[in-house]
Structure formats: structure tokens, C-alpha cells
């Protein structure tokens, strides 16, 4: 059994962004990488939550979200490094994020994913997220963006 820790960061500092960027770059699915500046711009203008999953002290993944409105929290980015997949880290961080959002007074969590991430979509649906819309990609079916939400 592994020792797993989820670190919650609500004060987004340059050090937190640097830590996030390291794990972000280790996840192959993020081919269109967001810059540190883009991440900072989104997080510094709204209340935010950054979760960092660590396995045996090594950073294994993250989940990042921010306030969209007084009652809606947006789960923006997240992922697990390939070496740490299958340990339930994504589900643990999703549950942590939902609990935290509820404690902060949010009544809803919104998230987007793409057809090419079926494990993410399955996890969200199994966690009672509802598909609310789809943004089609004119080039590839796998890139259709699915919009989901969950009432807390």
C-alpha cells in the first residue's frame, strides 16, 4: 500500500504555479500546454483551489479549479502522471474538490472534457455529473468537448 497525500493550495503563489507546471508537463495528454502566465491569469483573478496528489512524497498529479460565479466552481485542469495511474488519485481529488467547493458555499461544479478521454468521462458520470452540452470539433470527433455539471 502506498502513502498518498493530497495537498490543498488556495493561495496561488509563483511557487505553487511552478510546482503545478512541473506535474502538468509530465502528463502527455496536455499537448497544447497552457503557459504559466495563462494559468496565473485565470487563478489570480478568482478564488481557486489547486490539489497536488503525492505518492510516497513524489508529485503524481493535480486538479485545478476556480470560481466561475458565487455558486459555481469550475474544475478546469487535472491529470495524473502515467506512472501513477490506476491508484484512484483522480477520483480522490475529485471528491476532495467537491467537498471543498460545497464547504465554500458553491452549489454546483462544472467541468469540460473531450471524447478522447473516456476514463475521465466515465469517472464523471459515475460521480453523478450530467452532460449539459457539447461543443463539436469540425476536424475530429475525438475532440468534441463535453460540458458536464453536478449539483452539490
Q: Give the integer Cα–Cα distance in Å for 148 and 152.
A: 13
User: So where are the chain's domains?
Assistant: 4-107
Architecture of the domain made up of 4-107: 3-Layer(aba) Sandwich (3.40)
Query: In this predicted structure, what is the pLDDT of residue 32?
Result: 66
Query: What are 2-53's pLDDT values in tens digits?
Result: 899 999 999 988 888 888 888 888 898 876 677 778 888 888 888 999 999 9
Prediction pTM value: 0.92
The confidence band for 97, taking pLDDT boundaries of 50, 70 and 90, is: very high
Q: Indicate the helix (H) or strand (E) that contains 61.
A: strand 58-69
C-alpha to C-alpha distance for 75 and 110, rounded to whole angstroms: 6
Give tens-digit pLDDT for 109-137.
999 999 999 999 999 999 999 999 999 99
Burial of 4: CB neighbours in 10 Å, binned 0-12, 13-18, 19+: middle
Amino acid at each position: 500500500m502506498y502513502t498518498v497525500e493530497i495537498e490543498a493550495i488556495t493561495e496561488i503563489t509563483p511557487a505553487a504555479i511552478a510546482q503545478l507546471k512541473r506535474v502538468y508537463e509530465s502528463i502527455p495528454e496536455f499537448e497544447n500546454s497552457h503557459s504559466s502566465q495563462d494559468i496565473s491569469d485565470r487563478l489570480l483573478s478568482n478564488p481557486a483551489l489547486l490539489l497536488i496528489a503525492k505518492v510516497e512524497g513524489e508529485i503524481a498529479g493535480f486538479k485545478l479549479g476556480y470560481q466561475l460565479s458565487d455558486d459555481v466552481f469550475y474544475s478546469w485542469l487535472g491529470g495524473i502522471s502515467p506512472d501513477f495511474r490506476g491508484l484512484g488519485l483522480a477520483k480522490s481529488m475529485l471528491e476532495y474538490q467537491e467537498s471543498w467547493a460545497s464547504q465554500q458555499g458553491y452549489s454546483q461544479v462544472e467541468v469540460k472534457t473531450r471524447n478522447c478521454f473516456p476514463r475521465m468521462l466515465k469517472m464523471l458520470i459515475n460521480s453523478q455529473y450530467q452532460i449539459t452540452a457539447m461543443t463539436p470539433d469540425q476536424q475530429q470527433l475525438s475532440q468534441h468537448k463535453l460540458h458536464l455539471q453536478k449539483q452539490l
